[in-house]
C-alpha cells in the first residue's frame, strides 16, 4: 500500500483543532485541517468567546458612560447607543482574528480543507465539499476536534429570532425591552449582562437554587447579589416547561421545581442557555467502534486515543470543562504524544472565568468539594473594598478567597469575584502548578497599588496576618 498523504488529519478548526494542527506541524508532521465552516476558529472565534467578549467590553463602556463616569466628574449630553456600529466592530474583530488563524495555518504549511468530514476507516477521511465534490484524505492518524453545540429543551424551539441560543443572542438587531434567559450559567450571565447594560429588562430563570453551578458557593452568592444590584432579576428553583412565539413576543410557562402553580411570563426575546453538548454528528463513529459515554462525549484514554487505534479526540467533544484553553492544552499535548513525546493535563489547574463585571475566576477545589472529600483546609479572604487600586478605580465589589491545606499550607483552590479576576487568576494557576503554599504567595511581592495585592493579602489572611483589614 502507498504511503498516506498526511501524518495527521484534524477534523475541526476550533481552538482545539487549529492548535493541534499547528503544534503537529511544528513537530515535523504533514497536516491537513478540515472544517465545514469557511471561517476558521470554531465556535470560540465565530460565535463564542470572542464575539461575546467584544460585546461585554463594548456594553461595559456604554454603561460606564451612562452611569459611572459622572462619579469621576465626566458628564455627557446626548449619549447614544449605535447598536449597528457595536455589532459591526464585533464582526470586524472576529474577521481579523479569523484571518490571523488563516495566516498561521499557511505559515505552518497546513493544508486547509473546507467541508464536512466523515471517517471512512482508520487512516481515511472523506470530505464532502459545499460544491458537491468529495475528497478523500489518507493519513497515519486522525484527530477529532468537532466541539459542541447548544443543548435543547423540550417545548422550547429555538428560531434564533425570538427564541435564541447564544448565537442569536450575539446578533440581535435591536435591544429587546424584556429578555428572559433560561439558565443562570456562564452564557446566561455574560449575555444577560450585555443586554441588560444596553437597556433590556432581564430576568434569569434557573432550575437550581443558586447561580453558576460548580463555582464556590460563597462566591456565587456574592456574585448574585452584585448582579441583582445591577438590575438582573433571578427566578431560582424554577423550570420552564414551554415557550411559544406569540406575535412579536414570547410566552413562557414556568413552574416551581418543588411543585406548585405554573405561571405565564412574557418576553420580547428568550435566550436558551442551559448548557452545551458534544457534537459528533456525521463522523460515522458508531460504525468505526469509537465509543461515546452516556452524555455523548467521545471516550478517550490518557493519551487522547479513542477505542480505535490511530483515532484521537480532544476539546469540547471529550469529557472535561468545555473551555477554549482546555481544548488548546489538550491539542498541544496530543500532538506531542503523536510525535513520541509525553504529556499530561491536570484538570484541577484549568481556570474558569466568567467575563461579567466584576469578573469571576476560579481554579482548583471549591470549599464544597473539599468538605465533600473530607480535606481539612484553611480559608483566607480579602475584599476589594479594602484594596487601594479598587478604591482608585471605584471597583470595590468582590473578594479573593484562597483555600489551603490545613496541614501543609499547599494552595488547593482560589476563587475570585472582582475587577480583572480573569487576569488575577493566572498568578493562582502558576502558584498551584508549582505546588506553592499560601505562604509562598504571601511572601511574593505584589506591586502597589494593584488588584494583585488582594491576592497577597488573602494569602496573608490564611495565617491570620493580613495587613489592610
Minimum distance from residue 169 beta carbon to ligand FAD (Å): 8
Q: Is 163 in the site for ligand NAI (CB under 6 A)?
A: no
Q: Which residue is nearest to ligand NAI (CB)?
A: 185
Q: List b or e across 425-463, with b for residues whose CB sees 16 or more CB atoms inside 10 angstroms.
A: bebbbebbeeebbbeebbeeebeeebbbbbbbbbbbbbe
Select from ligand NAI, ligand FAD, none the partner in contact with residue 42, using the beta carbon and a kind-dependent cut-off of 5 to 8 Å. ligand FAD
* Cα 88-91-97 angle, rounded to 5 deg: 140
Region binding ligand NAI by CB under 6 A among candidate stretches 180-188, 389-397, 432-440, 451-459? 180-188
Query: How far is it, in rounded angstroms, from Cα 128 to Cα 270?
Result: 35
* 282 or 289: CB nearest ligand FAD: 282
Select from ligand NAI, ligand FAD, none the partner in contact with residue 153, using the beta carbon and a kind-dependent cut-off of 5 to 8 Å. ligand NAI
Q: Is 300 in the site for ligand NAI (CB under 6 A)?
A: no
Query: How far is it, in rounded angstroms, from Cα 289 to Cα 12?
Result: 20
At 140 the three-state DSSP class reads strand
Please identify which residue in 45, 94, 187, 461 interacts with ligand NAI, judged by CB under 6 A.
Answer: 187
Minimum distance from residue 14 beta carbon to ligand FAD (Å): 2
* 194 or 466: CB nearest ligand NAI: 194
Minimum distance from residue 94 beta carbon to ligand FAD (Å): 12
Region binding ligand NAI by CB under 6 A among candidate stretches 56-64, 203-211, 243-251, 426-434? 203-211
Q: Which residue is nearest to ligand FAD (CB)?
A: 147
Please identify which residue in 7, 206, 330, 409 interacts with ligand NAI, judged by CB under 6 A.
Answer: 206
The answer to whether 42 and 14 are in contact (CB under 8 A) is yes
Closest to 319 measured CA to CA, from 292, 282, 350 = 292
Closest to 216 measured CA to CA, from 438, 428, 369 = 369
Select from ligand NAI, ligand FAD, none the partner in contact with residue 205, using the beta carbon and a kind-dependent cut-off of 5 to 8 Å. ligand NAI
Give the containing element (helix H, strand E) for 381. Answer: strand 377-383
* 56 or 441: CB nearest ligand FAD: 56
* Nine cell digits for residue 212: 453558576
The answer to whether 439 and 466 are in contact (CB under 8 A) is no
Q: Is 361 in the site for ligand NAI (CB under 6 A)?
A: no
Query: How far is it, in rounded angstroms, from Cα 247 to Cα 86?
Result: 28
Catalytic status, residue 325: no
Q: Could you list the residues that contact ligand NAI (CB under 6 A)?
A: 153, 182-188, 190, 205-208, 213, 239-240, 273-276, 321-323, 353-355
Amino acid at each position: 500500500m502507498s504511503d498516506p498523504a498526511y501524518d495527521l488529519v484534524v477534523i475541526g478548526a476550533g481552538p482545539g483543532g487549529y492548535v493541534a494542527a499547528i503544534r503537529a506541524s511544528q513537530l515535523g508532521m504533514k497536516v491537513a485541517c478540515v472544517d465545514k465552516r469557511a471561517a476558521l476558529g470554531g465556535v470560540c472565534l465565530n460565535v463564542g468567546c470572542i464575539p461575546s467578549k467584544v460585546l461585554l467590553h463594548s456594553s461595559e463602556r456604554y454603561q460606564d458612560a451612562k452611569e459611572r463616569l459622572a462619579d469621576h466628574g465626566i458628564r455627557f449630553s446626548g449619549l447614544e447607543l449605535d447598536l449597528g456600529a457595536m455589532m459591526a466592530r464585533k464582526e470586524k474583530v472576529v474577521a481579523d482574528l479569523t484571518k490571523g488563524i488563516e495566516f498561521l495555518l499557511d505559515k505552518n504549511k497546513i493544508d486547509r480543507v473546507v467541508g464536512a468530514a466523515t471517517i471512512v476507516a482508520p487512516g481515511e477521511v472523506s470530505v464532502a465539499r459545499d460544491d458537491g465534490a468529495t475528497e478523500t484524505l489518507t493519513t497515519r492518524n486522525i484527530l477529532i476536534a468537532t466541539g459542541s453545540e447548544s443543548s435543547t429543551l423540550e417545548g422550547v424551539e429555538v428560531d434564533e429570532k425570538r427564541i435564541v441560543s447564544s448565537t442569536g443572542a450575539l446578533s440581535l438587531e435591536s435591544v429587546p425591552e424584556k429578555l428572559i434567559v433560561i439558565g443562570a450559567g456562564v452564557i446566561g450571565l455574560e449575555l444577560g449582562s450585555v443586554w441588560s447594560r444596553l437597556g433590556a429588562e432581564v430576568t434569569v430563570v434557573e432550575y437550581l437554587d443558586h447561580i453558576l453551578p460548580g463555582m464556590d458557593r460563597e462566591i456565587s452568592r456574592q456574585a448574585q447579589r452584585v448582579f441583582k444590584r445591577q438590575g438582573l432579576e433571578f427566578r431560582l428553583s424554577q423550570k420552564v416547561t414551554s415557550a411559544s412565539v406569540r406575535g412579536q413576543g414570547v410566552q413562557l410557562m414556568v413552574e416551581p421545581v418543588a411543585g406548585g402553580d405554573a405561571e405565564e411570563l412574557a418576553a420580547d426575546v428568550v435566550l436558551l442557555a442551559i448548557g452545551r453538548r458534544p457534537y459528533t454528528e456525521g463522523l460515522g463513529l458508531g460504525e468505526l467502534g469509537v465509543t461515546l459515554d452516556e452524555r455523548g462525549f467521545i471516550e478517550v484514554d490518557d493519551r487522547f486515543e479513542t477505542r480505535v487505534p490511530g483515532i484521537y479526540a480532544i476539546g469540547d467533544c471529550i469529557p472535561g470543562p468545555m473551555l477554549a484553553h482546555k481544548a488548546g492544552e489538550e491539542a498541544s499535548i496530543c500532538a506531542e504524544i503523536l510525535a513520541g513525546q509525553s504529556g499530561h493535563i491536570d484538570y484541577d489547574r484549568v481556570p474558569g472565568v466568567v467575563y461579567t463585571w466584576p469578573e469571576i475566576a476560579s481554579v482548583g477545589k471549591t470549599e464544597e468539594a473539599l468538605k465533600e472529600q473530607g480535606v481539612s483546609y484553611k480559608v483566607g479572604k480579602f475584599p476589594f473594598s479594602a484594596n487601594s487600586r479598587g478604591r482608585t478605580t471605584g471597583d470595590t465589589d468582590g473578594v479573593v478567597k484562597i483555600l489551603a491545606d490545613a496541614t501543609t499550607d499547599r494552595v488547593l483552590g482560589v476563587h475570585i469575584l472582582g475587577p480583572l479576576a480573569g487576569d488575577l487568576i493566572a498568578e493562582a494557576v502558576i502558584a498551584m502548578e508549582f505546588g506553592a503554599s499560601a505562604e509562598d504567595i504571601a511572601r511574593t511581592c505584589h506591586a502597589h497599588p494593584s488588584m494583585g495585592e488582594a491576592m497577597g493579602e488573602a494569602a496573608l489572611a490564611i495565617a491570620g496576618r493580613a495587613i489592610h483589614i
